[in-house]
């Protein structure tokens, strides 16, 4: 998954799960589930479920720990209208007192099929024109049973005329025509584990494009958008996505899916998303997310990241993050591999595919390294601790984020695996690289259908040693488990560059800012000077712990009203920082805090500071070797495109 701040409401209480031996439920016949999305524009899903049962006590459950979310985010609170019937009679139910996801019933004598109806109130990933549907919103199945052992026959109904995109296998041969009014699309029998891993997008404006047709198995991108023009992706971006398929095939030299579908929503309403699955990925960006260079750069690593997860996260998964049900808590200690290595490989593949240039890759890397180096929370907690605590760090309050640390295992992992990659290149004279490790660790030298092969820290070390012998256990331990006051800059330096600060934002930041507010652009970034991140209206998002603004007593949530006698604007603030350079007069602010107003004085005189990478002449240029395409695709054309 991509880094997202999720609603604090999703941070459900950590529940202890009591495993009680219950009568085994006969599962010879599949559960039948019909997901009805025809009310999607009204933010409601409905479902009818028929379950094979035997008389006696029965416990059914909805999923709690959703793979890829790294937290207990199952939508139990949004499930409503639950009614159980059998032989025409309504059956009473009672929620479990401890595990609030569970329903207890008693099945009467003579009953072999139980019918359940439930609705789900949908809070994201829907608009008037499209929906991205994950099956956990409507799933109900026997508790305390491995989900891979529960067969299920899925069907779906969508609004009339809406197209369907999914990696699921149709019940009969053929693809997914636009369904007629009231039509139900049936899929082949699968199991609950695989069904949860098989999202569906649907929308009025739907396009499906084949990617890199020369590569087997087949790859597609399915697009739904709020605007028909956006759904018809421009040729250059489709060429880049085809290159992504070629580059991933060359890098991993394997696949672990029968078919792969990138599912993409383009909507300002349906929200951002990046969720990995074995044979597909659920990707959500803004309506104009890939409409031009500036927007594309901001989203460049999304599809490469989620695609990489098919290998790193889905096929190979830390043993602690794989549970046979969706009720046992997942353990995130190795998320610096699951997400951190994916973050690194996603950025590398983005550059190799032409979604970003080598220079843009370096600019974004400079931002990452500087941001981590200026995260004072690293003085008290290790990177491993951010992974162990992932489920409570996801979402929540952004205030003092830099002192608490967030899900730093993503970006720390990017620097770590760059360090490992350049170290392997250095030790082998650039004959070997992390690419060789990925073929061993993620490929296992075989092509398979979707499956999960868990791993431990020791296997990671063994596979690194198979590429080049080194004390990899200590290497990883020092960087991830220890407190490190500074970010790991070794990869950048071994790669032939150094991190510097200049008085102008780097080219990639300037381009992304042109796309307006968003994940990487927008707002006012004075983090490396006075230590503030602000909105365009002066609202303070965060204050750098022990930085100049912190020493001046500013706090997140306050709002800057005026600077040096002038009403706040981003330009006025930046001009004030420049004017104070080399002088002795403080920068004077008027700040609103709740219903009060204060004056504050920031004693700072070093001018504006923005991160960039500077080439070290004479050093091997491994950084640019790393971002050079492996396959013989249209790299020159991609370079020309960027030069326009
Ligand atoms: Zn991820």
Q: What percent of the chain has pLDDT over 90?
A: 88
Query: Which letter, b or e, does each residue of 128-161 get, where b requires 16 or more Cβ atoms within 10 Å of its Cβ?
Result: ebbbbbbbbbbbbbbbbbebeebbbbbbbbbbee
- Ligand 1 midpoint to CA 185 (Å): 30
pLDDT digits 0-9 by tens, 465-514: 999 999 999 999 999 999 999 999 999 999 999 999 999 999 999 999 88
Residue 639 alpha carbon to ligand 1 centre in Å? 27
Cα of 384 from ligand 1 centre, angstroms? 16
Q: What is the mean pLDDT of residues 545-557?
A: 98
Q: Is the pLDDT of residue 53 over 80?
A: yes
Q: Which of the four pLDDT bands, split at 50, 70 and 90, describes residue 180? A: low
Determine the 3-state secondary structure of 579 from DSSP.
helix
Q: How far is the CA of 553 from the centre of ligand 1 (A)?
A: 36
* Distance (Å) from CA 391 to ligand 1 centroid: 14
Work out whether strand 130-133 and strand 200-203 pair parallel, antiparallel, or are unpaired.
Answer: antiparallel
Concatenate the DSSP letters of all residues of 162-182 into one string: -EEEESPPBSSSS--PPPPTT
Query: How many angstroms is it from 514 CA to the middle of ligand 1?
Result: 26
Return the SS3 of 349: helix
How far, in Å, is the centroid of ligand 1 from the Cα of 308? Answer: 9
Joined tokens for residue 464: 């690194």
Smallest CA-to-CA distance from 386 within 474, 307, 484 is with 484
Distance from the CA of 62 to the center of ligand 1, in angstroms?
Answer: 24
Distance 338 CA to ligand 1 centre (A): 7
Categorize the per-residue pLDDT at 518 as very low, low, confident or very high, splitting at 50, 70 and 90: low
Q: What is the rounded CA–CA span in Å between residue 630 and residue 627?
A: 9
**pLDDT band at 271; cut points 50, 70, 90:** confident
Q: How far is the CA of 433 from the centre of ligand 1 (A)?
A: 22
Q: How far is the CA of 595 from the centre of ligand 1 (A)?
A: 40
Ligand 1 center from residue 104 Cα (angstroms)? 35
Distance (Å) from CA 275 to ligand 1 centroid: 7
What pLDDT is recorded for position 397?
Answer: 78
CA of 301 to the centre of ligand 1 (A): 11
Compute, in angstroms, the gap from residue 2 CA to the centroid of ligand 1: 4
Overall average pLDDT of the 133-138 stretch? 98
Confidence at residue 149, expressed as pLDDT on a 0 to 100 scale: 97
Cα(131)–Cα(43) distance, rounded to whole angstroms?
Answer: 9
449, 522 Cβ separation under 8 angstroms: no
Helix (H) or strand (E) holding 494: helix 490-494
pLDDT band at 173 (very low <50, low <70, confident <90, very high): low
Give every CB contact of residue 418 below 8 A, 6+ residues apart in sequence: 344, 365, 491, 492, 495, 626
159 vs 172: CA distance, rounded Å: 21
pLDDT at 523: 84
> 1 C-alpha vs ligand 1 centroid, how far in Å?
3
Report pLDDT digits (tens) over 234-243.
Answer: 999 999 999 9
In this predicted structure, the answer to whether residue 182 has a pLDDT above a threshold of 90 is no
Task: Report the distance separating Cα 494 and Cα 408, nearest Å.
Answer: 22
Quickly count helices (H) and strands (E) in the chain. Answer: 21, 31
Q: What is the pLDDT at residue 443?
A: 86
Structure tokens at 313: 């996260």
Distance (angstroms) between ligand 1 centre and the Cα of 73 equals: 16
8 Å CB contact between 229 and 416: no
Query: 459 alpha carbon to ligand 1 midpoint, in Å?
Result: 21
Using DSSP's 3-state secondary structure scheme, residue 126 falls into strand
Report how far ligand 1's centroid is from the alpha carbon of 467 (Å).
25
Euclidean distance between CA atoms 250 and 109, whole angstroms? 58
The dihedrals phi and psi of 111, each to the nearest 5 degrees, come to -95, 130
- Taking the centre of ligand 1 as the mean of its atom positions, its distance from the CA of residue 274, in whole angstroms, is 7
What does each C-alpha distance from 58 to 87, 145, 507, 577 come to in angstroms? Answer: 16, 12, 61, 67
Flag whether the pTM goes above 0.85. yes
Report pLDDT for 395.
Answer: 76
Average pLDDT, the chain: 92
Distance 496 CA to ligand 1 centre (A): 28
CA distances from 221 to 248, 258, 271 (A): 15, 15, 19
Q: How far is CA 20 from CA 59, 74, 99, 143, in A?
A: 10, 21, 12, 10
Ligand 1 center to 446 CA (angstroms): 23
Could you tell me the distance, in angstroms and rounded to a whole number, from the CA of residue 287 to the centre of ligand 1?
A: 22
Q: b/e for 244-269, b at 16 or more Cβ within 10 A?
A: bbbbbbbbbebbbbebbbbbbbbbee
Residues 6+ apart with CB under 8 A from 463: 437, 440, 441
Distance 409 CA to ligand 1 centre (A): 11
**Distance from residue 396's CA to the centre of ligand 1 (Å):** 18
pLDDT of residue 634: 54
- pLDDT of amino acid 18: 33
* 68 CA distance to ligand 1 middle (Å): 7
Instruction: Find the 3 Cα to ligand 1 centroid distance in Å.
Output: 7
Q: For residue 193, how far is its CA from the centre of ligand 1 (angstroms)?
A: 19
CA of 306 to the centre of ligand 1 (A): 6
**Closest to 344 in 3D by CA, of 407, 406, 413:** 413
**Predicted confidence (pLDDT) at residue 540 exceeds the cutoff of 90:** yes
Question: What's the 567 CA to ligand 1 centre distance in angstroms?
Answer: 41
Phi and psi at residue 114, to the nearest 5°: -110, 135
CA of 280 relative to ligand 1 center, distance in Å? 13
Element (H, E) at 612: strand 610-615
Distance 390 CA to ligand 1 centre (A): 12
**Alpha carbon of 389 to those of 252, 357, 382, 394, 485: distances in Å?**
30, 34, 11, 9, 20
Instruction: Decide if 360 contacts 297 (C-beta within 8 A).
Output: yes
CA distance 27 to 334: 34
Give every CB contact of residue 125 below 8 A, 6+ residues apart in sequence: 131, 132, 133, 134, 265, 270, 271, 273, 282, 284
CA of 343 to the centre of ligand 1 (A): 7
Ligand 1 midpoint to CA 305 (Å): 6
> What's the pLDDT score for residue 181?
64
User: What's the average model confidence in pLDDT over 430-450?
Assistant: 95
Residue 391 has pLDDT above 50, yes or no: yes
pLDDT surpasses 70 at 641: no
- Per-residue confidence (pLDDT) for residue 178, from 0 to 100: 67
Q: How far is the CA of 186 from the centre of ligand 1 (A)?
A: 30
Least confidently predicted of 15-24, 209-218, 562-571, 621-630: 15-24
Q: How far apart are CA 8 and CA 216, in angstroms?
A: 42
Q: Give me ligand 1 centre to Cα 81, in Å.
A: 33
Output the CA 368–ligand 1 centroid distance in Å.
16
Q: pLDDT tier at 52 (50, 70, 90 boundaries)?
A: very high
Bridge partners of 121, per DSSP, are 44
- Cα–Cα dist 526/14, whole Å: 37
Residue range 335-363: average pLDDT? 98
């Amino acid at each position: 998954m991509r880094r997202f701040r999720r609603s604090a409401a999703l941070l459900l209480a950590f529940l202890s799960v009591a495993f009680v031996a219950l009568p085994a439920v006969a599962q010879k016949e599949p559960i039948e589930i019909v997901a009805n999305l025809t009310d999607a524009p009204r933010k409601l899903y409905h479902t009818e479920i028929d379950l094979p049962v035997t008389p006696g006590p029965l416990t059914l459950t909805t999923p709690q720990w959703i793979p890829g979310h790294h937290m207990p985010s199952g939508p139990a609170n949004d499930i409503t209208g639950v009614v159980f019937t059998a032989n025409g009679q309504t059956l009473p139910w009672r929620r479990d007192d401890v595990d609030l996801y569970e329903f207890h019933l008693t099945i009467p004598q003579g009953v072999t099929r139980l019918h359940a109806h439930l609705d789900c109130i949908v809070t994201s990933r829907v608009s008037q024109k499209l929906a991205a549907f994950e099956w956990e919103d409507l799933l109900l199945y026997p508790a305390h049973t491995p989900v891979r052992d529960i067969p299920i026959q899925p069907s779906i109904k969508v609004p009339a005329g809406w197209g369907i995109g999914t990696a699921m296998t149709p019940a009969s041969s053929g693809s997914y025509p636009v369904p007629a009014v009231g039509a139900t699309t049936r899929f082949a029998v699968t199991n609950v584990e695989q069904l949860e891993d098989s999202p569906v997008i649907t929308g009025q404006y739907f396009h499906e494009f084949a990617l890199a047709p020369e590569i087997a198995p087949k790859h597609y991108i399915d697009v739904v958008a709020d605007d028909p023009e956006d759904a018809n992706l421009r040729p250059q971006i489709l060429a880049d996505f085809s290159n992504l398929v070629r580059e991933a095939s060359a890098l991993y030299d394997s696949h672990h899916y029968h078919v792969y579908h990138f599912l993409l929503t383009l909507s300002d309403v349906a929200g951002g998303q990046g969720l990995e699955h074995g044979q597909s990925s659920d990707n959500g960006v803004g309506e104009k997310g890939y409409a031009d260079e500036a927007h594309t750069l901001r989203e460049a690593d999304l599809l490469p990241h989620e695609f990489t997860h098919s290998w790193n996260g889905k096929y190979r998964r830390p043993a602690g993050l794989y549970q046979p049900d969706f009720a046992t808590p997942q353990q995130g200690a190795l998320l610096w591999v699951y997400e951190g290595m994916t973050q690194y490989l996603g950025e590398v593949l983005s550059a190799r595919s032409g979604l970003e240039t080598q220079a843009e890759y370096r600019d974004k890397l400079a931002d990452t390294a500087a941001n981590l180096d200026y995260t004072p929370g690293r003085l008290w907690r290790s990177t491993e601790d951010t992974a162990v605590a992932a489920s409570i760090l996801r979402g929540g309050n952004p205030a003092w984020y830099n002192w608490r640390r967030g899900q730093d295992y993503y970006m720390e992992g990017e620097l770590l695996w760059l360090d490992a990659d350049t170290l392997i290149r250095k030790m082998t004279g650039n004959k070997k690289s992390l690419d060789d490790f990925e073929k061993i660790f993620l490929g296992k030298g075989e092509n398979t259908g979707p499956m999960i092969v868990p791993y431990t820290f020791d296997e990671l070390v063994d596979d690194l040693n198979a590429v080049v012998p080194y004390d990899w256990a200590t290497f990883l331990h020092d960087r991830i488990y220890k407190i490190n006051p500074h970010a790991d800059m070794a990869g950048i330096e071994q790669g032939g560059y150094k991190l510097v600060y200049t008085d102008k934002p780097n080219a990639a930041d300037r381009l992304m800012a042109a796309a307006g507010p968003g994940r990487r652009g927008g707002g006012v970034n004075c983090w490396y000077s006075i230590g503030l991140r602000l909105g365009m209206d002066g609202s303070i998002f965060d204050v750098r712990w022990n930085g100049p603004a912190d020493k001046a007593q500013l706090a997140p949530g306050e709002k800057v009203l005026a600077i040096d006698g002038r009403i706040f604007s981003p330009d006025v603030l930046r001009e004030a920082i420049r004017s104070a350079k080399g002088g002795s007069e403080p920068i004077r602010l008027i700040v609103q805090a709740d219903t009060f107003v204060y004056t504050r004085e920031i004693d700072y005189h070093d001018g504006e500071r923005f991160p960039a990478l500077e080439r070290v002449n004479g050093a091997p240029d491994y950084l640019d070797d790393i971002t050079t395409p492996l396959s013989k695709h249209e790299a020159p054309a991609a370079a020309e495109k960027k030069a326009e």
